[in-house]
Amino acid sequence: MFDWKLIAGFVCGLMLAGLLAWAVAAWRRGKAIRSGKRGERIVAKELARLKKKDHIIINDLLLPTSNGRTSQIDHVVISTRGIFVIETKNHAGRISGGEHAQYWQQHLSSQSRTLYNPLLQNRSHLRAIRRLLPKLDAELFSTMVVFTEAWRLDIKAEEIIKERRLLPDRHIQRTLIPEERRQKQWWRPWKKEIVLDEHKIVMRIEGLLNEIKRRRRIIDRDSLRDIAEKLSAANVTDNSARREHTQYAKQTSKSVSEDITKGICPRCGGQLIIRKSPNGDFAGCSNYPRCRFSCSIDRLHH
């Protein structure tokens, strides 16, 4: 004779364990989103300190793109000193990577995780903005990647970095150059921003306002409102469209990972081959230099 109480208790236990496992998985999936939103709030609060008469700030801007999709931009600062397209990353630890690499590495103690190159993200964001402002000169735009928690940035440029020769020495010393040309210093070098060129910067949040304020004035105040109105008018506020954007971003990330594991370049469709460098072997596109895609060998064999 069956003990129905025992069977019912066993089934209820399984259901409870499954529900708990589902809740933990959902919490982990949402952890990255919550962390990203927290970083965006930190940067938005910092940007709010800028003088309103010279700066107009738009946070969480979703713009349509030429392929019918959308591009989500964390922050846009429309300033008398230029237009700054800002990508926020709330990653702790040491961040390493290359300017043209598809993925960067986050190093936390003995752990290492990958993150999509935010410079590549910002490149698509800049295209979406310039599509709406085609008459503005390219020199007016700067892309900035701001880390709110990282304690060290080791981002290498594959091309010569332009030094700020017209600025005082203290600003030139703040410019990071490739490892082989970098002077060793005993104080904290990770406090400095990395200038890949005058319009492409990777930095910690501490230097964000100074980086904007140091630029010379190149836009009059009346034009600021016109630019801000055009971007605000194009902003997609429909919640269903924003959910669709999030879903598409996840699918794209999965598709890129699948291409890499198959040895296919996700940018141009070329073959990924093992290349050697002084810093170690890596996987690069066979169509180099036309295509500069690269990733770690571990990513290739993941």
Q: What is the distance, to the nearest Å, from the Cα of residue 292 to the centroid of all Cα atoms in its chain?
A: 18
Q: Within this chain, do residues 247 and 278 fall inside the same structural domain, yes or no? A: yes
84 and 208 assigned to the same domain: yes
Angle at 141 between CA 135 and CA 145, to 5 degrees: 150
Q: Is residue 17 part of a domain?
A: no
- The arithmetic mean of pLDDT across residues 241-249, rounded, is 74
Section 75-89 average pLDDT: 95
**Per-residue exposure over 95-133, b if at least 16 CB sit within 10 Å of its own CB, e if not:** bbbbbbbbbbbbbeeeeeebeebbbbbbeebbebbbeeb
Same domain for 143 and 204, yes or no, is yes
CATH number for 251: 3.30.65
Q: Based on the fold, state whether residues 82 and 186 are members of the same structural domain.
A: yes
The pLDDT score that the predictor gives to residue 42 is 94
Same domain, 146 and 220: yes
12 within some domain:
no
Is position 284 within any domain? yes
The answer on 154 and 105 residing in a single domain is yes
265-277 confidence digits (pLDDT tens): 888 888 888 887 7
Helix (H, G, I), strand (E, B) or coil at 261: helix
For range 113-133, the mean pLDDT: 90
CA–CA distance, 286 with 92 (Å, rounded to integer)? 34
In a domain, 153, yes or no: yes
In a domain, 21, yes or no: no
- 181 pLDDT higher than 60: no
Q: Which of 186, 202, 237 is the last residue of a domain?
A: 237
Average pLDDT (252-263) is 79
Q: Are residues 139 and 190 in the same domain?
A: yes
Q: Which residue has the higher pLDDT, 12 or 41?
A: 41
Is residue 171 located within the same domain as residue 221? yes
Number of folded domains in the chain? Answer: 2
- Give the end of a domain, one of 237, 262, 283: 237
Mean pLDDT, the chain, as a whole number?
78
Q: Give the mean pLDDT of 191-220.
A: 81
Banded model confidence at residue 166, pLDDT cuts 50, 70, 90: very low
In a domain, 243, yes or no: yes
Among 47-61, 80-94, 253-267, the minimum mean pLDDT is found in: 253-267
Say if residue 168 is in the same domain as residue 285: no
Looking at the DSSP bridge assignments, the partners of residue 150 are: 93
- Give the residue from 237, 260, 285 where a domain finishes: 237
pTM attached to this predicted model: 0.71
Mean pLDDT score, 93-113:
83
Q: Is residue 185 part of a domain?
A: yes
Neighbours of 248 (CB within 10 A): 12
- Measured between alpha carbons, how far is residue 95 from residues 63, 126, 230 in Å? 29, 23, 35
Cα–Cα dist 259/237, whole Å: 33
Of 64, 83, 82, 77, nearest to 124 by C-alpha is: 64
> What is the mean predicted confidence (pLDDT) over 115-142?
91
Q: Are residues 140 and 181 in the same domain?
A: yes
Claim to verify: residue 214 and residue 176 sit in the same structural domain:
yes
Domain membership flag for residue 24: no
Single-letter amino acid, residue 189: P
**Kind and range of the H or E run holding 285:** strand 282-285
**pLDDT given for residue 125 in this prediction:** 93
Same domain, 232 and 266: no
Look at residue 177 and tell me whether its pLDDT is greater than 70: no
Residue 185: the pLDDT is: 45
Mean pLDDT, range 141-154, rounded to an integer: 88
> Looking at residues 210-237, what average pLDDT do you find?
92
* Cα separations in angstroms, 296 against 113, 274, 282: 12, 9, 5
- State mean pLDDT over 258-285: 82
Range of the domain at 196: 30-237
pLDDT of residue 169: 34
